[in-house]
């Protein structure tokens, strides 16, 4: 039989354990909140050029526009709707959720501990993957949008959409405007859109190749089934290539815009995967395991 003192001692021990558990939970919650807040600040910082660009667009409602020669054939293509739309953000999230199933390597005899640690690792890895991907995406978009705003490069369908009129009321049909580089003009088409001044670089190309390259490097590291891995990598690159080529034959970008956009996307993805993600090597010892695609 336990004495009254023994019961009191047990109660004190239990209360001490509860207090310690509450302190640990408080510290853990505080640490998680600090980490999330820090990540949000990083994301906002990397996305600040994009945010500034959008704010400037809303405030002044005008984009810097470049000049042109009336006889420039590269600006006289008809306007066409985009054949291929953006595809990658939802695709990336779904793919990450399906593929991020790394397991803990510690061969612990306690199955419950292994299961719990594995769940924690997968949650941490998935969070890091998503946050790092957003970092890289914002950085890539910032590099992409800055020249779009300040360069004012004209799209191939510029003449068809803008129908420019010079300061003296003349247009490109007047012989006096031939051979002149024209900067002072306005669009006679009231339904024109400011994106005609944002040809360089190609946003579709940079973002599609960013997503495709990141996933290709991820699959190379994590998916052990060689045939499946090569097949998926081929499809990802083929799709990014199709998106990029469509921007040229839809007359939305010049060839150099697409080449620079592709290069920018590949560069940003490689920096993210190989430098920031350290080629997807986890801080804790996480072994590569075959990935089951559902």
Is 153 contained in some domain?
yes
Q: What is the C-alpha to C-alpha distance for residues 20 and 244, in angstroms, rounded to an integer? A: 57
Q: Cβ contacts of residue 8 below 8 Å, gap of 6+?
A: none
Residue 130 confidence (pLDDT): 85
Is residue 284 over pLDDT 60? no
Mean of the pLDDT values across residues 223-235? 94
What is the pLDDT confidence band of residue 287, given thresholds at 50, 70 and 90?
very low
Range of the domain at 159: 47-287
pLDDT at 294: 40
Is residue 90 scored above 70 in pLDDT?
A: no
For residue 17, being part of any structural domain is answered with: no
Quick one: pLDDT at residue 222?
87
The mean per-residue pLDDT over the stretch 161-172 comes to: 92
Alpha helices in 152-202 (DSSP H): 158-162
Q: Is pLDDT at 292 greater than 50 in this prediction?
A: no
Q: Has residue 138 been placed in a domain?
A: yes
User: CA 7, 9, 11 angle in degrees (round to 5)?
Assistant: 70
Higher pLDDT, 168 or 42: 168
**Segment 192-219 mean pLDDT:** 92
Give yes or no for residue 157 having a pLDDT over 50.
Answer: yes
Q: Which two tokens stand for residue 260?
A: 């620079």
Instruction: Classify residue 13: in a domain, yes or no.
Output: no
pLDDT digits (tens, 9 = 90+) for 34-67: 767 776 776 666 666 667 666 766 665 556 788 9
Render pLDDT for 100-143 as a digit per residue (tens, 0 to 9): 444 343 344 444 444 555 555 677 778 788 888 888 888 898 88
DSSP 281: -
Does any domain span residue 199? Answer: yes
pLDDT at residue 109, as a whole number: 40
Residue 288's pLDDT is what? 41
Please report the pLDDT score of residue 106 as a whole number. Answer: 39
pLDDT of residue 155 exceeding 90, the answer is yes
Mean pLDDT of all residues in 244-273: 96
Read off the pTM. 0.73
User: In angstroms, rounded to a whole number, what is the distance separating the alpha carbons of residues 140 and 130?
Assistant: 15
For 184-225, list the strands marked E by DSSP: 185-187
pLDDT (0 to 100) of residue 285: 38
The pLDDT, as a whole number, for residue 268 is: 95
pLDDT value at position 86? Answer: 56
Q: Is the pLDDT of residue 258 over 90?
A: yes
In contact, 155 and 195? CB cutoff 8 Å: yes
CB 218 within 8 A of CB 270: no
- Has residue 28 got a pLDDT over 90? no
Residue 181 lies in a domain: yes
Give CA–CA dist 263/269, Å, rounded.
10
Q: For all residues of the chain together, what is the average pLDDT? A: 77
How many structural domains are present in the chain? Answer: 1
Instruction: Give percent above pLDDT 90 in the chain.
Output: 38
Is 98 within the bounds of a domain?
yes
CB 48 within 8 A of CB 169: no
Beta strand ranges found along 46-205 (DSSP E) = 68-69, 103-104, 164-166, 181-182, 185-187
pLDDT of residue 210: 96
> In this structure, is residue 29 part of a structural domain?
no
pLDDT band for 269, please (50, 70, 90 cuts): very high
Q: How confident is the model at residue 32 (pLDDT cuts 50, 70, 90)?
A: low
As a whole number, mean pLDDT of residues 174-185 equals: 91
């Amino acid at each position: 039989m336990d004495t009254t003192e023994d019961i009191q001692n047990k109660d004190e021990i239990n209360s001490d354990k509860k207090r310690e558990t509450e302190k640990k939970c408080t510290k853990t919650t505080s640490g998680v909140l600090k980490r999330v807040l820090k990540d949000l600040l990083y994301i906002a910082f990397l996305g600040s050029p994009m945010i500034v660009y959008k704010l400037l667009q809303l405030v002044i409602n005008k984009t810097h526009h470049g000049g042109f020669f009336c006889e420039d054939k590269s600006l006289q293509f008809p306007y066409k709707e985009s054949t291929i739309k953006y595809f990658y953000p939802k695709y990336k999230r779904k793919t990450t959720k399906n593929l991020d199933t790394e397991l803990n390597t510690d061969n612990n005899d306690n199955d419950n501990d292994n299961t719990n640690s594995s769940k924690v690792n997968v949650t941490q890895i998935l969070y890091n993957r998503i946050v790092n991907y957003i970092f890289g995406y914002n950085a890539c978009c910032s590099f992409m949008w800055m020249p779009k705003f300040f360069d004012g490069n004209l799209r191939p369908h510029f003449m068809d959409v803008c129908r420019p009129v010079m300061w003296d009321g003349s247009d490109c049909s007047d012989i006096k405007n031939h051979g002149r580089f024209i900067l002072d003009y306005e669009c006679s088409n009231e339904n024109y859109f400011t994106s005609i001044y944002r040809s360089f670089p190609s946003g579709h190309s940079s973002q599609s190749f960013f997503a495709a390259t990141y996933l290709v490097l991820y699959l190379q590291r994590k998916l052990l089934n060689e045939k499946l891995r090569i097949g998926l990598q081929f499809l990802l690159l083929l799709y990014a290539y199709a998106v990029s080529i469509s921007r040229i034959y839809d007359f939305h970008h010049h060839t150099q815009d697409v080449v620079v956009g592709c290069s920018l996307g590949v560069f940003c993805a490689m920096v993210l995967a190989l430098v920031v993600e350290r080629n997807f090597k986890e801080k804790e010892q996480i072994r590569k395991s075959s990935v089951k695609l559902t």
